[in-house]
Amino acid sequence: MSDTTAHEEPELIQLLTPEGELTGHPDYPLEITADEVRDLYRDLVLVRRFDGEAVSLQRQGELGLWASLLGQEAAQIGSGRALRGHDMAFPSYREHGVAWCRGIEPEELLGMFRGVTNGGWDPHEHGFHLYTIVIGSQALHATGYAMGVQRDGALGEDGTAVITYFGDGATSQGDTNEAFNFASVNNAPVVFFCQNNQWAISEPLERQARVPIYKRASGFGFPGVRVDGNDVLAVLAVTRAALDNAREGNGPTLVEAFTYRMGAHTTNDDPTRYRNAAELEEWKAKDPILRVRRYLEHNGLADDAFFAGVDAEADALGEKVRTQCRSLPDPEPLDIFHEVYAEPNVHIDRQRAEFAEYLASFEAEGVR
Ligand SMILES: Cc1ncc(C[n+]2csc(CCOP(=O)(O)OP(=O)(O)O)c2C)c(N)n1
Ligand SMILES: [Mg+2]
């Protein structure tokens, strides 16, 4: 939206500085009560704890893999809380904070990473599609869904907006660029929410784009904006504006949430092999949770009892997550054939019968 040249620093929309000072922004006024800020703080702390527990569970062999959101809590909680109940989100695989906002239970998220479910939740019930591992493909799913919303006549002040989440690396993917174009020419009610966490596994941002990511939007003919992804208030305000714009029929927006992946890409990755420790230190100073805490403390909006209460809640959540994860039931082997197709299918039926016979052969030999 701002008209910077390639030589100028891109404008970063920020409402709350890393020191916890509320500066506001003329283009994104945000009316928010102290209660609401405390609720956001609670969300941030709880999802960080959930995420940390999941990393530990993977280390203990309870999960096959985990993609940590560490450092990206504000980008996810701010945008997740900007959504209305009937809006629809299409995530990638790291959006545990958005899932939290959409009412997905932590154990439903863990199931997929434990390998005991092919999905985990009902997307319609939560307005939150299943996780998508194929980079960028969800941008097309979201655009198609948004075009459906448009054709259903479900736009307007109380209409439905669609949001899709992807990373900086995904902006190099054909699917993402096709989605940008489709959304633009169809004026689809979709918000493209890019969490630019600076890394695509071991590939740094400069391998993805020679211009700031939000500027890509102008080439497709819709607005782009860069927001401080570690500032939950700015993300809330910017995403809310973009969603409202979409639901009112004004088409797509690209929101680039400028943030940092403080952890490994996944538990299979070791970032010390490809990035500098100093970079992490620099971003620790911009921690998304600390700045909200500072704001609340400096303005006398929360006392020690409040912070202790949230920490106690986080401890209880950790305990619950550990217990629930370990008690998730293993699926029956034949369950893999469920939900492949909505309607009965002869090929699936034949494969199920063959597999059942194969399993029975072990039982017959007493091997199983
Ligand atoms: C189509 C496709 N290509 C490659 C991969 C392997 N892969 C998994 S994650 C990833 C990097 C994605 O980086 P980014 O889009 O920045 O998201 P982040 O993981 O940083 O959130 C890649 C290349 C994949 N899952 N899908
Ligand atoms: Mg990335």
Is 9 inside a domain boundary?
no
pLDDT at residue 197 greater than cutoff 80: yes
Residue 127 belongs to a domain: yes
The answer to whether the beta carbons of residues 16 and 232 sit under 8 Å apart is yes
Q: How far is the CA of 196 from the centre of ligand 2 (A)?
A: 6
Pocket test of ligand 1: the residue of 76, 199, 201, 267 to mutate, having most ligand atoms within 8 Å of its CB, is: 201
Other beta carbons within 10 angstroms of residue 316's beta carbon come to 12
| Shared-domain flag, residues 320 and 207 | yes
pTM summary value: 0.95
Phi, psi of 351 (to 5 degrees): -65, -40
Residue 134 CA, closest ligand 1 atom number? 26
Q: Are strands 203-204 and 199-200 parallel, antiparallel or unpaired?
A: antiparallel
Q: What are the Cα distances from residue 367, in Å, to 7, 108, 205, 354? A: 69, 33, 52, 18
pLDDT at 290 over 90: yes
Which H/E stretch holds residue 44?
helix 34-59
CA-nearest residue for atom 21, ligand 1, is: 167
DSSP reduced 3-state for 28: coil
Please indicate, yes or no, if residue 288 is contained in any of the structural domains: yes
3-class SS string, 183-240: HHHHCCCEEEEEEECCEECCEEHHHCCCCCHHHHHHHHCCCEEEEECCCHHHHHHHHH
For the chain, what is the radius of gyration of the CA atoms? 22
125 assigned to some structural domain: yes
Question: Residues near ligand 1 with C-beta < 6 Å?
Answer: 94, 133-135, 166-170, 197, 199-201, 261, 265
Question: How many structural domains comprise the chain?
Answer: 2
> Are 65 and 191 within one domain?
yes
Residue 22 lies in a domain: no
Query: Is 261 annotated in the active site?
Result: yes
Residues 120 and 150 in one domain: yes
Residue 1 lies in a domain: no
In the set 49, 114, 265, 291, the catalytic residue is 265
At which residue do the structure tokens 């591992």 appear? 133
At 58, which CATH number? 3.40.50.970
Same domain, 63 and 159: yes
The boundaries of the domain holding residue 354 are 333-365
* % of residues, the chain, pLDDT over 90: 92
Give catalytic status of residue 214 as yes or no. Answer: no
Q: What pLDDT is recorded for position 342?
A: 87
94, 247, 261, 291: the catalytic one is 261
Residue 27 lies in a domain: no
pLDDT in tens, 47-101: 999 999 999 999 999 999 999 999 999 999 999 999 999 999 999 999 999 999 9
Task: Give the pLDDT confidence score for residue 3 in this predicted structure.
Answer: 47
Query: How many angstroms is it from 72 CA to the middle of ligand 2?
Result: 11
Residues 77 and 153 reside in one and the same domain: yes
Contact 102/52 with Cβ under 8 angstroms? no
- Asked if 206 contacts 168 with a C-beta cutoff of 8 angstroms, the reply is no
**Tokens representing residue 70 in the block:** 């560490």
Query: Are 41 and 170 found together in one domain?
Result: yes
Count Cβ atoms within 10 A of the Cβ of residue 310 and give its class: 0-12 exposed, 13-18 middle, 19 or more buried: buried
Same domain, yes or no: 254 and 344: no
Q: Is the pLDDT of residue 112 over 80?
A: yes
Q: Is the pLDDT of residue 368 over 80?
A: no
Mean pLDDT of the chain: 95
Percent of the chain beyond pLDDT 70? 96
Same structural domain, 173 and 132 = yes
Q: Which residue, by CA, sits nearest to atom 5 of ligand 1?
A: 135
Is 345 in the same domain as 271? no
State the distance from the centre of ligand 1 to the C-alpha of 66, rounded, in angstroms.
14
Judgement on whether residues 253 and 351 belong to the same structural domain of the protein: no
265 is catalytic: yes
Whether 178 maps to a domain, the answer reads yes
Instruction: Specify whether 220 is located in the same domain as 341.
Output: no
Q: Are residues 265 and 347 in the same domain?
A: no
Q: Look at residues 91, 106, 233 and name the one whose alpha carbon lies nearest to residue 170.
A: 91
